[in-house]
Amino acid sequence: MFDTVRLIIDKVKAEGDKAVLEYEATFDKVNLSVLSVSEEEILAGESQISEQLKTAIILAKKNIELFHAAQQFVGKKIETMPGVTCWQKAVGIEKVGLYIPGGTAPLFSTVLMLAVPAKIAGCKEIVLCTPPAKDGSIHPAILFAARLAGVNKIFKAGGVQAIAAMAYGTESIPKVYKIFGPGNQYVTAAKQLVSLRDVAIDMPAGPSEVEVLADASANPVFVAADLLSQAEHGSDSQAVLVTTSEKLMEAVQIEVERQLMELPRKDIASQALENSKLILVKDMEEALDLTNEYAPEHLIIETENYQEVAERIINAGSVFLGSLSPESAGDYASGTNHTLPTNGYAKAYSGVSLDSFIRKITFQEITSEGMKTIGPAIEEMAANEQLDGHKNAVTVRLQMINKQ
Ligand SMILES: NC(=O)c1ccc[n+]([C@@H]2O[C@H](COP(=O)([O-])OP(=O)(O)OC[C@H]3O[C@@H](n4cnc5c(N)ncnc54)[C@H](O)[C@@H]3O)[C@@H](O)[C@H]2O)c1
Ligand SMILES: N[C@H](CO)Cc1c[nH]c[nH+]1
Ligand SMILES: [Zn+2]
């Protein structure tokens, strides 16, 4: 797969819009003449959305805003020695590219998860790419959420070609400094390849995963619903139950089969269930070891003492506590971000947050008092690294200060 992805990236890098348009015809089966979404299309899209959906999107945006605005960095000035002051300032990344998946479902909720923190961070240019439908349109809710959250430009491009276009720039799609957003295995591979040299990325956020960690107190109807909620994302999604109760496991198995039949996306979900597992463990210790080793993107803890269990989680993307906290809450509207590391990457990466959209610049200011105290140590270290130019930059200042 990486070879195919590399080929697409190279062609987009060399041929720009022409290659993106060709790949849109190949992979999304759509014949486009332009990639950018016009103002008229955005307005027409907005008029197609029901008032109920607008209200729900506005509610979700408000919660996501509240949660991410509370993550604002407050840089403290630290006097490391008298007269030597150091501090950090957070600055938004100027140009960011958001990828919104659209292959199997139009994920307009992901627009909020990425554009809301980008806006709070102060990113100036927020570009969005998403695959169009076969008639060349973009789902109206994607357009509505994008406008609401402050996206500057929207383009009809999906998959590898979209990632390559944002990484290198084309005639119409601007080059950005960092690319964000989840996607299927092709999108994730493309993000990893372009990030080797040319652009930053948030993290590998691939096919969705959920683990439910449950004991005998859990409700099998809820557990089955949670497993299926992620299985329906794609045939490569994973839904895992880890439980200390054989009785619960059997009840969940029956419930999954029953609820699956009622799901419109039962074909996708049943393929995902083939990569999924119900695992019986001997005790909570074994459950915790297994969970921390799996490092699930999402973890739902439905046990009697879920707060104690949660204290012992060290590897997971986002955790949902108790029987009334389904993953769907975090996927849409509780306020936390749903763009999260998959495939074990939660051991090393955090999900998207306000921090993902900023850099911290360090500052320092030294007074003559500070230079007198710190200067000799710098001179000594520079001389021993045999870097006399460095030493001299301090010496000339100390000479001037000592003359005063
Ligand atoms: N980890 C997270 O935070 C998170 C959040 C939301 C969604 N997701 C996941 O995002 C994924 C979305 O996937 P999707 O497929 O629906 O949409 P997508 O937009 O990621 O992928 C669609 C694109 O894939 C490309 N493609 C398809 N087949 C190809 C091929 N054979 N070769 C090259 N390119 C090809 C096409 O260009 C198409 O535009 C799901 O797996 C979902 O679970 C993850
Ligand atoms: N569960 C996905 C994250 O892995 C996010 C999502 C969007 N819409 C519904 N769910
Ligand atoms: Zn989901």
Task: Assign 105 to helix, strand or coil.
Answer: coil
Distances (CA, A) of 199 to 25, 163, 215: 26, 10, 44
Pairing of strands 178-180, 200-201: parallel
- Which of 102-111, 200-209, 220-229 is modeled with the greatest confidence? 220-229
10 alpha carbon to ligand 3 midpoint, in Å?
32
| Pair 364, 85: CB distance under 8 Å | yes
Q: Which residues sit with Cβ closer than 5 angstroms to ligand 3, an ion?
A: 331
Q: Is 130 in the pocket of ligand 2 (CB under 6 A)?
A: no
Q: Is 19 in the pocket of ligand 1 (CB under 6 A)?
A: no
- pLDDT-derived band of residue 105, with 50, 70 and 90 as boundaries? confident
Ligand 2 mutation pick, 331, 334, 337, 349, max ligand atoms within 8 A of CB: 331
| Pair 181, 30: CB distance under 8 Å | no
Ligand closest to the CA atom of residue 298: 2
**309-324 mean pLDDT:** 98
Task: Tell the residue nearest (CA) to atom 24 of ligand 1.
Answer: 159
Q: What residues have CB less than 8 Å from 159, skipping those under 6 apart?
A: 8, 23, 27, 28, 103, 131, 183, 184, 186, 187, 190
Does the pLDDT at position 400 exceed 90? yes
Ligand 2 atom nearest to 298, measured from its CA? 4
Strand locations in 253-389, DSSP E? 277-280, 298-302, 318-321, 358-366
CA distance 126 to 279: 43
Task: Assign 256 to helix, strand or coil.
Answer: helix
- The 10s digit of each residue's pLDDT in 155-200 is 999 999 999 999 999 999 999 999 999 888 899 999 999 999 889 9
- pLDDT-derived band of residue 97, with 50, 70 and 90 as boundaries? very high
- Indicate if the alpha-carbon torsion angle 58, 62, 68, 69 is positive or negative: positive
What's the token pair of residue 227?
């497993």
89 alpha carbon to ligand 2 midpoint, in Å?
32
Q: Is 208 in the pocket of ligand 2 (CB under 6 A)?
A: yes
**346-372 mean pLDDT:** 97
**Fold matches, 2-205+354-359 and 209-340:** yes
CA distance 165 to 31: 18
Ligand 2 atom nearest to 110, measured from its CA? 7
| Pair 341, 349: CB distance under 8 Å | yes
342 alpha carbon to ligand 2 midpoint, in Å?
12
Q: Which residues are catalytic?
A: 297-298
- pLDDT-derived band of residue 58, with 50, 70 and 90 as boundaries? very high
- The 10s digit of each residue's pLDDT in 237-286 is 999 999 999 999 999 999 999 999 999 999 999 999 998 999 999 999 99
Could you list the residues known to form a binding site for NAD(+), using ranges. 99, 161, 184
Q: Is 356 in the pocket of ligand 2 (CB under 6 A)?
A: no
Element (H, E) at 375: helix 368-384
Q: Is 338 in the pocket of ligand 2 (CB under 6 A)?
A: yes
CA distance 41 to 56: 22
207 alpha carbon to ligand 2 midpoint, in Å?
9
Ligand 2 mutation pick, 53, 100, 109, max ligand atoms within 8 A of CB: 109
**22-43 mean pLDDT:** 95
Ligand 2 atom nearest to 327, measured from its CA? 1
Give which of 153, 128, 201, 160 is closest to 20, Cα–Cα.
Answer: 160
Q: What is the pLDDT of residue 102?
A: 87
Could you list the residues known to form a binding site for Zn(2+), using ranges. 230, 233, 331, 390
Ligand 2 mutation pick, 233, 298, 334, max ligand atoms within 8 A of CB: 233
331 alpha carbon to ligand 3 midpoint, in Å?
5
Does the pLDDT at position 206 exceed 90? no
Q: Is 28 in the pocket of ligand 2 (CB under 6 A)?
A: no
Fold of 209-340: Rossmann fold (3.40.50)
| Pair 53, 141: CB distance under 8 Å | yes
- pLDDT-derived band of residue 123, with 50, 70 and 90 as boundaries? very high
Give which of 5, 11, 20, 25 is closest to 157, Cα–Cα.
Answer: 20
182 alpha carbon to ligand 1 midpoint, in Å?
8
Ligand 1 atom nearest to 205, measured from its CA? 1
Ligand 1 atom nearest to 208, measured from its CA? 43
CA distance 103 to 208: 14
Give me the residue spans of the domains in the chain.
2-205+354-359, 209-340, 372-403
51 alpha carbon to ligand 1 midpoint, in Å?
29
Class of domain 2-205+354-359: alpha beta
Ligand closest to the CA atom of residue 229: 3
Task: Tell the residue nearest (CA) to atom 10 of ligand 2.
Answer: 331
